[in-house]
């Protein structure tokens, strides 16, 4: 295999790892809509419930149930509060049962559960535990798109740098500088801007809070800075670079928005 073919193969492998991790993170995050189906009264009922919404927009709860003998309700209360549960009936419009959840301020959350009933029987579409719905401010595309693109490129270069460092004669220094530069722009320039628009704060990780998205960004950057300075002292210290790549991949496999910004109404 020629040198060019090896480089192309490594870039392709880095892209596949990056794309797979991005899809995994997206689909497993706590703000991804809950989709599923349940069997109730001899019918298969499909549903999709939101777990994220923009402030000032009420969240619709809609279930398609052709059987007019089936009714239901939705219960909700603010997350991390001492509120009592509020209940709204699911009103029928044709084949659909629907209700609306009230909007919350940025970083506010609602817990809610959706119940269907027919006679004495009922089923919880949302499962045993209630869903948590988080509200966020609208983020301008001029801020959001550069953040997403830069973070994807930073992950791509991080994976490519780590793969290059696995080669005994790998030339990873330039790739590592690109990784750090892209990560700095995406995670520490545009990232806080996204956070400010969405939740009203630029940074809620250490030392100001425990936001996991911010903290995992910080941990990954410290890993790359450690690898950079270690390799400057010893250009053969390629395992530091591999470790930084593995660390970054590991922290970014943690679903997005876990332990994110939230209002504690008990305070």
Residues 169, 68 within the same domain: no
Q: d(Cα 87, Cα 113) in Å, to the nearest integer?
A: 10
Residue 204 confidence class, pLDDT cut points 50, 70, 90 = confident
Residues 172, 223 within the same domain: yes
Q: What is the percent of the chain where pLDDT is above 90?
A: 61
Write the CA distances from 224 to 191, 199, 263, integer angstroms: 18, 28, 32
* pLDDT on residue 111: 94
pLDDT of residue 260 exceeding 80, the answer is no
Chain centre distance of CA 193: 17
Residues 19, 61 within the same domain: no
N-to-C CA span, the chain: 63
Q: What is the pLDDT of residues 15-49, one digit of tens each?
A: 999 999 988 888 877 778 899 999 998 889 999 99
Q: Number of structural domains, the chain?
A: 2
Residues 157, 57 within the same domain: no
Residues 86, 119 within the same domain: yes
Judged by average pLDDT, the poorest of 84-88, 170-174, 192-196, 225-229 is 170-174
Quick check: is 57 in a domain?
yes
Residue where one domain finishes, among candidates 136, 166, 200: 136
Q: Angle 3-28/141-166 helices, nearest 10 degrees?
A: 130
Residue 233 confidence class, pLDDT cut points 50, 70, 90 = confident
Q: Are 211 and 256 in contact (CB under 8 A)?
A: no
- Average pLDDT over the chain reads 90
Contacting residues for 29 by C-beta, under 8 A, at least 6 apart: 255, 256, 257, 258
Quick check: is 90 in a domain?
yes
pLDDT of residue 237 exceeding 80, the answer is yes
* pLDDT on residue 256: 66
Quick check: is 119 in a domain?
yes
The three-point CA angle 51-55-57 to 5° equals 80
Contacting residues for 162 by C-beta, under 8 A, at least 6 apart: 241, 242, 244, 245, 246, 249
Q: What is the pLDDT of residues 68-111, one digit of tens each?
A: 999 999 999 999 899 999 999 999 999 999 999 998 888 889 99
pLDDT of residue 220 exceeding 90, the answer is yes
Residues 128, 160 within the same domain: no
Residues 76, 12 within the same domain: no
pLDDT of residue 236 exceeding 80, the answer is no
Residues 80, 151 within the same domain: no
Residues 129, 247 within the same domain: no
Quick check: is 225 in a domain?
yes
164, β-bridge pairs? none
Q: d(Cα 120, Cα 259) in Å, to the nearest integer?
A: 38
Q: d(Cα 251, Cα 62) in Å, to the nearest integer?
A: 35
Residues 143, 239 within the same domain: yes
Residues 170, 76 within the same domain: no
CB < 8 Å & 24+ apart, contacts of 201-205: 201/261, 204/261
* pLDDT on residue 259: 61
Residue 258 confidence class, pLDDT cut points 50, 70, 90 = low
Residue 73 sits in which domain range?
A: 34-136
Q: Compare 265 and 243 and report the one with higher pLDDT.
A: 243
* pLDDT on residue 169: 82
* pLDDT on residue 55: 85
Residue where one domain finishes, among candidates 77, 106, 136: 136
Quick check: is 177 in a domain?
yes
Query: Where residue 45 sits, what CATH number does that domain have?
Result: 2.60.40.10
* pLDDT on residue 207: 85
* pLDDT on residue 124: 93
Residues 146, 248 within the same domain: yes
What pTM, to 2 d.p., does this model score? Answer: 0.84
* pLDDT on residue 74: 97
Residue where one domain finishes, among candidates 111, 136, 161: 136
Q: What is the pLDDT of residues 126-167, one digit of tens each?
A: 988 899 999 898 899 999 999 999 999 999 999 999 999 998
Q: DSSP secondary-structure letter at 129?
A: S
């Amino acid at each position: 295999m020629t040198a060019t073919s090896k480089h192309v193969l490594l870039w392709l492998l880095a892209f596949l790892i990056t794309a797979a991790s991005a899809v995994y993170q997206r689909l497993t995050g706590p703000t991804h809509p809950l989709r599923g189906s349940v069997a109730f009264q001899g019918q298969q009922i499909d549903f999709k419930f939101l777990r994220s919404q923009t402030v000032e927009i009420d969240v619709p709860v809609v279930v398609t149930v052709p059987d007019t003998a089936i009714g239901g309700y939705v219960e909700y209360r603010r997350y991390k509060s001492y509120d009592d549960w509020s209940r709204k009936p699911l009103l029928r419009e044709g084949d659909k049962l629907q209700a609306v959840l009230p909007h919350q301020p940025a970083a506010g959350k609602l817990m809610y559960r959706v119940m269907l009933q027919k006679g004495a029987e009922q089923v919880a579409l949302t499962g045993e535990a209630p869903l948590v719905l988080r509200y966020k401010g609208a983020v301008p595309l001029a801020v959001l798109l550069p953040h997403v693109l830069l973070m994807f490129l930073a992950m791509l270069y991080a994976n490519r740098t780590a793969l290059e460092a696995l080669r005994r004669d790998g030339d990873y220094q330039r790739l590592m500088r690109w990784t750090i530069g892209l990560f700095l722009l995406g995670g520490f320039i545009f990232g806080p801007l996204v956070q400010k628009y969405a939740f009203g704060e630029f940074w809620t990780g250490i030392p100001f809070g425990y936001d996991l998205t911010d903290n995992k960004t910080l941990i990954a950057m410290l890993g790359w800075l450690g690898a950079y300075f270690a390799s400057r002292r010893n250009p053969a210290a390629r395992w530091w670079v591999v470790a930084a790549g593995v660390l970054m991949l590991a922290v970014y496999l943690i679903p997005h928005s876990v332990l994110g910004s939230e209002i504690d109404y008990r305070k």
